[in-house]
A and B are shown apart, each in its own frame.
Chain A
């Protein structure tokens, strides 16, 4: 797994005198599930915004899917998918209309959208829901659908920003099954979460604290390194040293 899809070198992002990202260096490999952890305010969101082409780095080099984020942020957007904790689907549109909309935004042809919609509905056991409004779907289903739509255009990387916030344990488990399935298709998954049990599912995790990445390795190695039983213990040791 030396094939990196995200390369970050000496990334610095400042807002005035406030440093949000202080000299970050990391790589994310193709097809892996990369957990991006950190306490609130550690600077995760800033990094994700830079990686997804929404904001430009102050200095340093950021290459996402082979594209330089400082030079062609708009090009990056075509190569990635994104899903956040907040609902990203339109409640007053039907399942199919939402799929059609996002497929269209990513420039997919109508026939391709139709074909993949059929497959997707089949796979999710959503046959009966195709023409239902999102507002009428239960929360768990919406979250699954939102994820499916985020990877509908087969992006190289999908960013998941606390995707399982407010979801019940069973749906969370199913959700992670979908993440595994996606990664196995070669789509890189870049996920932030506050659930430390979820961090255990990741191939590698990085932990941010005060604008810096303070740890980056597989969950097993980190647990050994910090002499901890769980990732949660590792996190607490790092994020709150006292």
Chain B
């Protein structure tokens, strides 16, 4: 055990002596959270909105005025038919179309409810979410205004939101789960594979192998520091996104951290596997970046919704660990679901971990022969 601890300490020294490594481990996550975070939280100001008022009564007029006077929106056009909607989005200035149904005021008075349709341009998911959220807030304020007059018979204007082009708007609030997933792959897979191949390249691996340290101790010793640092990183990212963007974890934090640990172990085993395949640091970097980072960014649902992918890419995404982790972490963070809803994904990650560890142990032994 003492041998092992000395070896782990040496690995920490490697990390803390190398500014580039330190930067990758702590600089990149912070930078990414801030970049993604600020890019996504642009305030709505004078967003173009078009109205399709099929009722043209006093209430719709009041609501329209309220929306326009809020300062968040400016009217681009008044439409007369549904056919114009696509066109006006194509022009690009309009971010949202608000449609009042026929006989809006009458329905409101007779049935106590009427509906407003909000159609937003899903091609810009962040803006789309923001403008519809703002509009719904205004409508709900308007609801209480008019309900106040007839308190015992509350009336309801029901907004229906519809996204054009990207109906499910899957990328919203995805950046924190996405960044965590990406950083863990980066640190675990890339850094471990590089640090192990470095020992091979410098000839120190040979010396370690003929020493009384067992191969499993060597691998664990190389991996333990990265495990700890990755875990600290997850916490750092969560705290940062909470402090800066007020994004809190809705579900159980313990579950989230436990799932993160599983994913860290999985990524580490991928890193070890890469190191047994790659003979040089360059090869390790190449395999990690092209084999792990790119698919994580492009195919895991981090940036592009899996639902919108072509079949072939969707099938590929089933093979990628990040896909499952993003689903898990998103459910816990944003929807606040418990383990019962993510056990399937957890099981997939667990089996992948076992598979990769098995493969790398086998590979490592083959190399020893």
Please report which residues of chain B, range 319-369, place their CB below 8 angstroms from some CB of chain A when the two chains form the complex. Answer: 368-369
- Any A CB within 8 A of the CB of B146: no
Known: A77-B211, A92-B18, A93-B17. 5 other contacts (CB 8 A): A86-B203, A92-B17, A107-B3, A107-B212, A159-B210
8 Å CB contact of A97 from B2, B13, B210, B368: B13
CB-based nearest A residue for B221: A105
8 Å CB contact of B6 from A54, A84, A85, A105: A105
8 Å CB contact of B7 from A15, A78, A104: A104
- Any B CB within 8 A of the CB of A176: no
CA of A77 to CA of B213, assembled, Å = 9
- Any A CB within 8 A of the CB of B66: no
Please report which residues of chain B, range 165-214, place their CB below 8 angstroms from some CB of chain A when the two chains form the complex. Answer: 202-204, 206-214
CA of A107 to CA of B2, assembled, Å = 7
CB-based nearest B residue for A15: B369
CB-based nearest B residue for A94: B13
Residues in A with CB closer than 8 Å to B14 are 90, 92-93
Tell me whether B214 and A84 are in contact (CB under 8 A): no
Residues in B with CB closer than 8 Å to A195 are none
8 Å CB contact of B210 from A15, A77, A86: A77
Tell me whether A74 and B214 are in contact (CB under 8 A): yes
Task: Digitize B202-246: 1 where CB-to-A-CB distance is under 8 Å, 0 elsewhere.
Answer: 111011111111100000000000000000000000000000000
Chain A contact patch, size range: 20 to 34
- Any B CB within 8 A of the CB of A29: no
Query: Within the complex, what minimum Cβ distance (angstroms) separates A17 from chain B?
Result: 15
Residues in B with CB closer than 8 Å to A80 are 210
Residues in A with CB closer than 8 Å to B3 are 104-107
Residue pairs across A and B with Cβ atoms less than 8 A apart, 8 shown, are A84-B203, A84-B206, A88-B204, A91-B202, A100-B6, A104-B7, A105-B3, A105-B208
Tell me whether B13 and A105 are in contact (CB under 8 A): no
Please report which residues of chain A, range 79-120, place their CB below 8 angstroms from some CB of chain B when the two chains form the complex. Answer: 80, 82-93, 97, 100-102, 104-107
Q: Which of A52, A53, A55, A105 has the most CB of B within 10 A?
A: A105
CA of A53 to CA of B208, assembled, Å = 12
Tell me whether B204 and A53 are in contact (CB under 8 A): no
CB-based nearest A residue for B207: A88
Knowing A55-B368, A77-B210, A105-B213 are in contact, say whether A93-B10 is a contact too (CB < 8 A).
Answer: yes
Tell me whether B212 and A101 are in contact (CB under 8 A): no
8 Å CB contact of B10 from A91, A101, A106: A101
Residues in B with CB closer than 8 Å to A90 are 10, 14, 202, 204
Query: Within the complex, what minimum Cβ distance (angstroms) separates A226 from chain B?
Result: 34
CB-based nearest A residue for B17: A92
Query: Within the complex, what minimum Cβ distance (angstroms) separates A210 from chain B?
Result: 21
CA of A114 to CA of B338, assembled, Å = 53
How many residues from B make CB contacts under 8 Å with A?
23
CA of A197 to CA of B48, assembled, Å = 87
Residues in A with CB closer than 8 Å to B2 are 104, 107
Tell me whether A53 and B210 are in contact (CB under 8 A): yes
CA of A92 to CA of B14, assembled, Å = 7
CA of A105 to CA of B207, assembled, Å = 11
Tell me whether B204 and A82 are in contact (CB under 8 A): no
Query: Within the complex, what minimum Cβ distance (angstroms) separates B287 from chain A?
Result: 23
Residues in B with CB closer than 8 Å to A83 are 207
Tell me whether B212 and A105 are in contact (CB under 8 A): yes
Tell me whether A106 and B204 are in contact (CB under 8 A): no
Please report which residues of chain A, range 52-87, place their CB below 8 angstroms from some CB of chain B when the two chains form the complex. Answer: 52-55, 74, 77-78, 80, 82-87
Closest 5 pairs (CB-CB, A-B) = A86-B203, A104-B6, A88-B207, A82-B210, A92-B17
Residues in B with CB closer than 8 Å to A74 are 212, 214
CA of A188 to CA of B210, assembled, Å = 17
8 Å CB contact of A105 from B17, B202, B211, B368: B211
Tell me whether B203 and A87 are in contact (CB under 8 A): yes
Residues in B with CB closer than 8 Å to A82 are 206-207, 210-211
Please report which residues of chain B, range 10-51, place their CB below 8 angstroms from some CB of chain A when the two chains form the complex. Answer: 10, 13-14, 17-18
CA of A91 to CA of B13, assembled, Å = 11
CA of A107 to CA of B10, assembled, Å = 15
Please report which residues of chain A, range 138-188, place their CB below 8 angstroms from some CB of chain B when the two chains form the complex. Answer: 159
CA of A107 to CA of B204, assembled, Å = 18
Tell me whether B210 and A106 are in contact (CB under 8 A): no
CA of A7 to CA of B2, assembled, Å = 32
Tell me whether B7 and A101 are in contact (CB under 8 A): yes
CA of A88 to CA of B368, assembled, Å = 18
8 Å CB contact of B212 from A77, A85, A159: A77
Tell me whether B10 and A86 are in contact (CB under 8 A): no
Query: Within the complex, what minimum Cβ distance (angstroms) separates A152 from chain B?
Result: 12
Query: Within the complex, what minimum Cβ distance (angstroms) separates B74 from chain A?
Result: 59
Residues in A with CB closer than 8 Å to B204 are 87-90
Query: Within the complex, what minimum Cβ distance (angstroms) separates B10 from chain A?
Result: 5
CA of A139 to CA of B113, assembled, Å = 85
Tell me whether A87 and B17 are in contact (CB under 8 A): no
Query: Within the complex, what minimum Cβ distance (angstroms) separates B100 from chain A?
Result: 69
CA of A110 to CA of B65, assembled, Å = 80
